[in-house]
């Protein structure tokens, strides 16, 4: 990993905000990707899984609405790069420090010690989680 998530947390913290960082909010830029052929890309990701989009009773949707849904790709076999550029995503759940919710949904491997021992937490949860993922 890298120090980039920690730098992002430091920036957000300095702005008086907290993010509630989780793994799906960190994106990796791959410099090899633009050079990959479609065949190489599908070899790593697999072919897209596409399903028709209809109402639960099977009725087709009205004209102008999407007709298909595509499953998100699994990115498990991509070749690691020496230098990976990372970005923090999804600032829509960010909130001002001091306005943290009373409960926090936490994956067990990112569980913040304060929630275990003190049954509380604050904006510093971002530092803990970024450190766990770096």
78 pLDDT band (50/70/90 cuts)?
Answer: low
Report the half-sphere exposure of 110 (CA within 13 A, side-chain side). Answer: 20
In the chain the first and final C-alpha atoms are separated, in Å, by: 5
The DSSP string of 22-75 is -GGGEEEE-TTGGG--HHHHHHHH-S--EEE-B-TTSPBPPTTS--EEEPPPP-
**pLDDT of 57-74, one tens digit each?**
988 889 999 999 999 887
Determine whether 55 is exposed, middle or buried from the number of CB atoms within 10 Å of its CB (0-12, 13-18, 19+): exposed
pLDDT of residue 63: 92
More confident: 50 or 116: 50
């Amino acid at each position: 990993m890298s120090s980039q998530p920690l730098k992002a947390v430091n920036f957000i913290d300095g702005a008086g905000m907290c993010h509630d960082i989780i793994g799906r909010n960190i994106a990796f830029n791959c410099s090899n990707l633009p050079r990959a052929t479609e065949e190489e890309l599908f070899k790593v990701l697999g072919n897209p899984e596409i399903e028709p989009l209809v109402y639960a009773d099977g009725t087709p949707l009205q004209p102008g609405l999407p007709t298909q849904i595509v499953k998100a790709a699994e990115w498990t076999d991509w070749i690691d790069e020496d230098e990976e550029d990372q970005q923090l995503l999804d600032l829509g759940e960010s909130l001002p420090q001091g306005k943290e919710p009373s409960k926090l949904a936490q994956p067990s491997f990112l569980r913040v010690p304060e929630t275990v021992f003190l049954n509380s937490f604050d904006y510093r949860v971002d530092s803990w989680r970024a450190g766990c993922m770096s």
